[in-house]
Amino acid sequence: MRISQFLDATYLKTANQVNLTEQENQQKVVDLVNEAILYNYKLVMLRAKYIPLAKEMLKEANSKTLIGTVIGFHEGIYSTEEKLEEAQKAIDLGADELDFVINFEAFKKGNINLVKKEVTKGIKLCLKNNKVIKWIIEVAALTNEEIIVISQLIKEIVFNNFGKESADKVFVKSSTGFYITKDNKPNGATLESMKLISENAKPLKVKAAGGVRDYETALKMITLGVDRIGTSSSKEIVNKEKNINTTSY
């Protein structure tokens, strides 16, 4: 197994969030894309405005690494129309995969029709443009029962509106990594939450994001059925796999 092909190497912080100039923040993006080229990551996950820069770098390097971006990030509370407009712009810029933050607040309040509408329209837009779509459900904001219900809901929407053959183009993803929890509880993927998603969303694809920082945890996630891992620790994870393979001979 090449773990690099499970990794969505991620940098989504704005310059203000990390107290950097825009030029310094862009350099972090450049560094990540160069790292992705070197380590052959499956995808780089970036803010949409950096897509043209990353696309040009990957093209020049003849790299197969894909480009992903986020939609409705990170609160997920934007209207369906706003999310679709943002998604279309990202598609026009050249994004390969779009990670939508589902309106989990509306879901928790019981506004299922709104959630169904945005999921259906988001998937329709992405499939029409031959793009992969991932739905971030923000597990830290949900109970276990809610994780089960929303995972099943997304699967049902895919099956009922787009057919089982579309399952490999749609992911259920755990987290944004930006959600603020109480009492220092995990704000990203846990083994428990990913098990629930995997059991209830399959055959849709599953992505673990937030809190996966080492090779051992990544491996456990993959064993649970996770297809992709969003992490800012891709380099450490890949290097650990290389070290293990080197010492095993």
Cβ burial, residue 134 (10 Å; 0-12/13-18/19+): buried
Q: Which stretches within 174-214 are classed as H helix? A: 191-201
On whether the CB atoms of residues 70 and 99 are closer than 8 A, the answer is yes
Q: Mind telling me the catalytic residues?
A: 99, 173, 207
* Residue type at 220 in one-letter notation: K
Structure tokens at 206: 């599953």
Rounded-to-integer distance, Cα 67 and Cα 55, Å: 7
Q: Which stretches within 18-131 are classed as H helix? A: 22-39, 51-60, 80-93, 104-108, 112-128
Torsion from C-alpha of 149, 155, 159, 162, nearest 10 degrees: 130
CA angle 209–213–214, rounded 5-degree value: 125
On whether the CB atoms of residues 11 and 34 are closer than 8 A, the answer is no
Rounded-to-integer distance, Cα 57 and Cα 34, Å: 8
Structure tokens at 220: 């456990």
